[in-house]
Structure 1
Amino acid sequence: MSAVQPFTNGLINGITKNEKMIIENGVRYAQASQTGRDGPDQILYSDLDTTSDADGRVRIKLDSEGPNSHEPISVPGLLSRTVKTYPNQIALVTRAGPDGKRKSFTYREYENNVRTVAKAFLKLGLERHHSVCILGFNSPHWFIADLAAIYAGGFAAGIYTTNSPEACQYCAESSRANIIVVEDAKQLEKILQIRKNLPKLKAIIQYDGIVKDKGVLSWDDLLEIGKKESDDKLDSILRTMGANECCTLVYTSGTVGNPKAVMLSHDNLLHDTRAIVRAVEFKGGSEIIVSFLPLSHVAAQVVDIFTSMTVGATVYFADKNALKGSLVETLVIARPTAFLGVPRVWEKIYEKMQLVARNNGPIKTWIATWAKAQGLFYNMNKMNGVDYKNWGYLIAKWLVFNKVKAALGLDRCRIFVTAAAPLGNDVKKYFMSLDMPIMEAYGMSECSGAHALSTNNRYRLGSVGPTLKGFGTKLDNLDNTGEGEICMGGRHVFMGYLNEPEKTKEAMDVNGWLHSGDMGRLDGNGYLYITGRIKELIITAGGENIPPIHIEHLVLSELPVLSNAMLIGDRRKYLTILVTLKTEMNADTGDPLDTFLSDTQAWLKSIGCKAKTLSEIIATRDPLVFKEIEDAISRANEKAISNAQRVQKFQLLPHDFSVPTGELGPTLKVRRNVVQRMYSDLIEEMYN
């Protein structure tokens, strides 16, 4: 059984009069170019819907009208069009240099730099359908290298800065990297360790810091090489390019085995971008975005690089410590009109705001409490279709909300978005009370980024929003509660996994549906809810299927000083859970510290606990703390839908989850199998 949210998927009746389209078996496809020399926006011939070959092409399905009917365009075609529309609009603004100043690029300068670097890549030996791997923090250099690789007929392939040398080698080998672009000496060292194992590698470029290795080029060296080259070779490659070819590889951040290289075509990326622009109602030439999420992740690429390019937006770059606390400094300078953050970013902002609130005097506290009640009332009503701006809300907006937003640099922001992992409803409600309703986005690398998206006029607590227009959602293998596996259809669905045809077949069924591995349900209004992940479903010894995320959120909501919770119980007789307390973080390394955040300190004091460090609590199994955690779990158990979903025991871990310690992946998702290996002894204690 399955449930389908209707979409046309290219099925039509009749015959088109548009000579650039053809119809086969009732499905409309973009017509392949007759000459093969009309690129880069041409469609190259293919009779395939998926491919795992580096030089492969796929067909593009079109509708006769609506969001799926627009003609495909390539990445170079899009940038060229934007330059013609907004030549002098500021495109990129660097992070502050040592002198505190920022450099900016207009769209004309942006494209000129892209073409210059593309010519340099070709001179250095970049071959068609080989990659340029990019390893570094967000910067104009990252954007330019990414687009230059595409312009030169290669693949842009981002590598996570947290990757080990061995993981970097896998990405470079599998993508047949001819060129690797690194940020600084730290990232360069990884590549120098593996250089001898990469026979296809022809050049390494370092874009920040002083280059000390003779075999490495600086960014200025790269620009000088490109400036000396004519445009002939680059233009000849652009003429052979097609919008239905791969232009970008996104490596999945999976925790089992090697990551898969997701092949995304020009049309995949730009079709998804158009859907986002339509849903959010971005305005041409007036949007501002802050780039700080890892660009090796598809969400950051689609929003920061391609959505900004589509609407002629200005992108400000945060500094390296953005995720360690300095993000607000960039926000205050940039004052973005849209802001995308992962849940941990929103949680960090929430924690800091709670700290500020506790230092307010009684009058400010009373005003803030009253104002937040007005904000929550207004936004809860708006969520349900009632846009009622009463005097209380308008006064609260003037007195409190506008000032809070200005302090965060979000006073011009029209949409606040969270993605990559679930964000708790308690945090969402807090921001709603401050007139900053956070919209949820859902997608994956294999669908080019976003598939469903809440907007200011269409959102529900707990939902990731409706499917974007022109896309299709199907729930496969429905159970008796109306839940099934979320499957996606549309032009944004990837070409395949590079060099892995069998895994491509596993992900895509014969009807073109991408199987996400996520469990979900659709309500009567088309809102999508994520209820778990198939591979993460816990199947107890009694055969009960348990979605861990739901139970973890119940526990976390009962005790806000808990930072993370991970449910255990696969093939076990009962459920247990691992929890962490909120502690401070090393600003330089990102490692969790033994000392507590101020919120946690205040809570410990309120329950009579005198411990100053987490290790003290662990060593003594502090009865006050453990009793509070036990009571929170008991309260969560009262909301369980069956006895099998009740948590029986817990362990408090010796430090919080983090990327450096291994529990979190690059996108801050919990690496469940890693956590289970790391704490196997503690887990076994709960079952012995």
Structure 2
Amino acid sequence: MFRKRLLLAGAVNVRNIILNRLQPKGINIQRRTLTDKQSISEESVIYSEKIQDKGKEPSEPLWTTFADGVVKLRIDQSCSQTPITVHQMFKETVERYGPLNAMASKKNGKWEKITFSEYYNLSWKAAKSFLKLGLERFHSVAILGFNSPEWFISAVGSIFAGGIVTGIYTTNTPEACYYIAYDCKANIIVVENQKQLDKIMQIWSRLPYLKAVVVYNDSLLESHPNIYTMEEFMELGNEIPDATLNDIINSQKPNQCCVLIYTSGTTGKPKGAMLSHDNITWTSAHASRAGDMQPAEIQQEIIVSYLPLSHIAAQIYDLWTGIKWGEQVYFAEPDALKGSLVNTLKEAQPTSHMGVPRVWEKIMEKLKDMSAQSGFMKKKMLSWAMSVSLERNLSCSRSDLKPFRTRLADYLILAKIRSALGFSHCQKHFSGAAPLTTETLDFFLSLNIPLYEAYGMSETSGPHCMSAPSVYRRRSCGKAVPGCKVKLVNENADGNGEICFWGRTVFMGYLNMEDKTEEAFNNDGWLHSGDLGKLDKDGFLYVTGRIKELIITAGGENVPPIPIEDAVKKELPIVSNAMLIGDQKKFLSMLLTLKSTLDPDTAEPTDNLTEQAREFCQKIGSKATKVSEIVATRDQAVYQAIQEGINRVNMKSTASVQHIQKWTVLEKDFSIFGGEFGPTMKLKRLAVLEKYKDEVDSFYKE
């Protein structure tokens, strides 16, 4: 059935098909030819249907696939903030917090700070320079680089100038950069350094919309007429009248696109999720307050920016919420995930911190390694303190009236650990992008660091559900943000159903992908997540799996992989990653990796076992210190211990179809560089299946 929505047709025959379909239904078609600066291409024509419903005004659609499209906002009267643009939000911030420090970055070993007033003025200058370089309305400024003030200023300036900001992951190959830059019609690309510039130089000849490149960290090694340093760029727009920029800003509407977030592409081509001004400004205001982030009048929040800003979680948390509530953002060093993050945390002393599950897991593994290397008494004291704290935190709600031994354990031991991590002043610790394991949650809870899970998607502008100090249940990602709704569809007997979203967080649609956009929404405009979850009687949401990750065996049995994978890692402290296999197979199998140290320069896993893994080996009678020793010799003690652990997991399963029948240990742990993880360290299952095809095939040979 043809859906009555906004369509784009670039050819006469497509137009005729649409006309033939619509005219019998009495729908009036209006043709609108756009100027070059407005259009996706010179030939683009928008066919906008207007349903005449007995004198009613035609309503805006709930979704669009056009960069210059508009949508109807899902306004709920319980939280009906007046829709505003990004510029309006920033102007309000300057009035309230202008003199406060907005950003801090390290230059030559010293922290340099920028106030909100300076931040706004620099963004204004950048906007005029983008116009000078030829940025067209609803075309993109793509940013390819690590988090920095220049990233923020370029993002805000591109929106002021009527463009759309589009982040590109620094780990992307030249071809992956090409796909995004071409799809988003990037007029200007801002890159961090020569390494990223080289990628763009390889593909520039195939990017018809690209007019200039700006480099913000390195000095240019060679002159090029359309490549500028950041210093040169910031002066380009001086001759552009303020009135010209003001006219563009005043023409912007809250229900128009200003941000593109490209999905990881783990299940096909990356999709450009279009976020409106209202998506950004409303989510920044309400999702953050649901997470108990404080306005600067009450307490200026301090955060550290280190996760990729191309991902919606970091962009909302670091950039847009920072503007909305007057937060001070410290920028970590580019090698943050290689080990320098803790140094920045100790200097910045954040009041709030966010990490993806793999980051929290790596912190946990590091602390366990340090504990394994300490003396007997220190180990005993730490074990006692953590057990006391965990028991207290699990037995009742947290309160100020803690028993004496709990306060003593925290004062003598746990507070020192938090201080060593840079969390002395941190009141809120968030996790997003993927579910946390029970082991990770309980480990940090035993340090008096409750991890508050947030849940959402690129398509919900980041967090649609939030946990916080006042909204917390273990293993839950909290409740829907006020003004938003969550429901389950197609529930099974256990109460699991697909999670669906409604609210001001919900995106505009996928750029240039009508079919994918239609698939994302049901007929009433609810967004389907593709995730499975449960809701308790109080409205707390529990994410239990992902439909596309659900394993359907050859016998038709549905098996969610994550609970089984987590159970294996809990039983076997030597295991770093476990991936369950069995889709359309007669039985389940598993790929395992072992915990190994990271190369301090590249952050890639080495062949050396971690201290925790070595300790495991010693306990079971193995002298192995390297992964290769275990794999090459099929170390009898280690392999037997792994089999026994898997047997214990199988015994606890609810049905024999969930038993792991075969497994193998891989020679190297998963990593971003190896292709098994995406930029936010989420497991790319299809990539793993392809990379280890021979190992998987060996499980199922007759």
TM-score, normalization: structure 2?
0.89
* Equivalent residue number for residue 257 of structure 1: 268
* Equivalent residue number for residue 40 of structure 1: none
* Equivalent residue number for residue 23 of structure 1: none
* Equivalent residue number for residue 23 of structure 2: none
Q: Aligned to 2:431, which of 413, 418, 424?
A: 418
Question: 1:159-198, aligned counterparts within 5 Å?
Answer: 159-198=168-207
1:472 aligns with 2:482: no
Give, in angstroms, the shift of residue 550 of structure 1.
Answer: 1.1
Aligned partners of 2:200, 2:147: CA distance in 1, in Å? 19
Opposite residue 267 of structure 2, the aligned amino acid is: V
Aligned partners of 1:435, 1:257: CA distance in 2, in Å? 41
- Asked if the contact 1:382/1:388 (under 8 Å) is kept, the reply is no
* Equivalent residue number for residue 304 of structure 2: 290
- Asked if the contact 2:140/2:164 (under 8 Å) is kept, the reply is yes
* 1:19-43 Cα shifts (integer Å, max 9, x gaps): xxxxxxxxxxxxxxxxxxxxxxxxx
* Equivalent residue number for residue 269 of structure 1: 280
Question: 1:646-661, aligned counterparts within 5 Å?
Answer: 646-661=659-674
Question: 1:560-571, aligned counterparts within 5 Å?
Answer: 560-571=573-584
1:555 aligns with 2:568: yes
Identity rate of aligned residues, in percent?
47
Question: 1:103-182, aligned counterparts within 5 Å?
Answer: 103-182=112-191
Q: Match of 1:103, SS?
A: strand
- Asked if the contact 2:76/2:503 (under 8 Å) is kept, the reply is no
* Equivalent residue number for residue 335 of structure 2: 321
Which deviates the most, 432-441 or 590-599? 590-599
- Asked if the contact 2:292/2:468 (under 8 Å) is kept, the reply is no
* Equivalent residue number for residue 326 of structure 2: 312
- Asked if the contact 1:252/1:261 (under 8 Å) is kept, the reply is yes
Aligned partners of 2:406, 2:76: CA distance in 1, in Å? 44
Q: Match of 1:656, SS?
A: coil
Aligned partners of 2:661, 2:390: CA distance in 1, in Å? 35
Give, in angstroms, the shift of residue 377 of structure 1.
Answer: 2.4
- Asked if the contact 1:381/1:387 (under 8 Å) is kept, the reply is no
Give, in angstroms, the shift of residue 423 of structure 1.
Answer: 1.6
Aligned partners of 1:501, 1:213: CA distance in 2, in Å? 42
* 1:300-347 Cα shifts (integer Å, max 9, x gaps): 000001111111000000011111111100000001011000111111
* Equivalent residue number for residue 669 of structure 1: 682
Relative to structure 1, the CA distance from residue 63 to residue 665 in structure 2 (aligned partners, 3 Å threshold; closer, same or farther) is closer
1:220 aligns with 2:231: yes
Aligned partners of 2:256, 2:73: CA distance in 1, in Å? 11
Give, in angstroms, the shift of residue 636 of structure 1.
Answer: 0.9
> Over aligned residue pairs, what C-alpha RMSD do you find?
1.6
Aligned partners of 1:382, 1:303: CA distance in 2, in Å? 30
Aligned partners of 1:47, 1:276: CA distance in 2, in Å? 25
Greater RCO (CA < 8 Å, at least 6 residues apart): 1
- Contiguous gaps of at least 5 residues in structure 2: 1-57
Give, in angstroms, the shift of residue 271 of structure 1.
Answer: 1.7
- Asked if the contact 1:298/1:449 (under 8 Å) is kept, the reply is yes
- Asked if the contact 2:304/2:348 (under 8 Å) is kept, the reply is yes
Give, in angstroms, the shift of residue 371 of structure 1.
Answer: 2.1
- Asked if the contact 2:577/2:669 (under 8 Å) is kept, the reply is yes
Opposite residue 662 of structure 2, the aligned amino acid is: K
Question: 1:72-87, aligned counterparts within 5 Å?
Answer: 72-87=83-98
- Asked if the contact 1:83/1:111 (under 8 Å) is kept, the reply is yes
- Contiguous gaps of at least 5 residues in structure 1: 1-44
Q: Match of 1:638, SS?
A: helix
Opposite residue 49 of structure 1, the aligned amino acid is: L
Give, in angstroms, the shift of residue 210 of structure 1.
Answer: 1.2
* Equivalent residue number for residue 355 of structure 2: 341
Aligned partners of 1:135, 1:46: CA distance in 2, in Å? 38
Opposite residue 661 of structure 1, the aligned amino acid is: G
1:444 aligns with 2:453: no
Aligned partners of 1:589, 1:462: CA distance in 2, in Å? 33
Aligned partners of 1:136, 1:562: CA distance in 2, in Å? 33
Aligned partners of 1:372, 1:603: CA distance in 2, in Å? 20
Give, in angstroms, the shift of residue 628 of structure 1.
Answer: 1.2
* Equivalent residue number for residue 626 of structure 1: 639
- Asked if the contact 2:453/2:476 (under 8 Å) is kept, the reply is yes
- Asked if the contact 1:321/1:587 (under 8 Å) is kept, the reply is no
Aligned length: 640
Q: Match of 1:610, SS?
A: coil
Q: Aligned to 1:427, which of 440, 461, 469?
A: 440
* Equivalent residue number for residue 216 of structure 2: 207
Aligned partners of 1:584, 1:342: CA distance in 2, in Å? 19
- Asked if the contact 1:250/1:262 (under 8 Å) is kept, the reply is yes
Give, in angstroms, the shift of residue 387 of structure 1.
Answer: 6.6
* 1:107-132 Cα shifts (integer Å, max 9, x gaps): 00000110000100000000000000
* Equivalent residue number for residue 487 of structure 1: 500
Aligned partners of 2:640, 2:143: CA distance in 1, in Å? 49
* 1:585-634 Cα shifts (integer Å, max 9, x gaps): 22333322112222212222222222332122211111111111111111
Give, in angstroms, the shift of residue 402 of structure 1.
Answer: 2.2
Aligned partners of 2:282, 2:524: CA distance in 1, in Å? 20
* Equivalent residue number for residue 248 of structure 2: 237
Which deviates the most, 597-606 or 633-642? 597-606
1:643 aligns with 2:646: no
* Equivalent residue number for residue 7 of structure 1: none
Aligned partners of 2:496, 2:178: CA distance in 1, in Å? 40
* Equivalent residue number for residue 387 of structure 2: 373
Which deviates the most, 400-409 or 357-366? 357-366
Opposite residue 266 of structure 1, the aligned amino acid is: H
Give, in angstroms, the shift of residue 571 of structure 1.
Answer: 1.0
- Asked if the contact 1:93/1:105 (under 8 Å) is kept, the reply is yes
Relative to structure 1, the CA distance from residue 553 to residue 414 in structure 2 (aligned partners, 3 Å threshold; closer, same or farther) is same
Aligned partners of 2:466, 2:72: CA distance in 1, in Å? 26
- Asked if the contact 2:453/2:466 (under 8 Å) is kept, the reply is yes
* 1:502-538 Cα shifts (integer Å, max 9, x gaps): 1111001121110000111111221111111111111
Aligned partners of 1:540, 1:62: CA distance in 2, in Å? 42
Which deviates the most, 423-432 or 173-182? 423-432
1:605 aligns with 2:618: yes
Q: Aligned to 1:303, which of 317, 320, 335?
A: 317
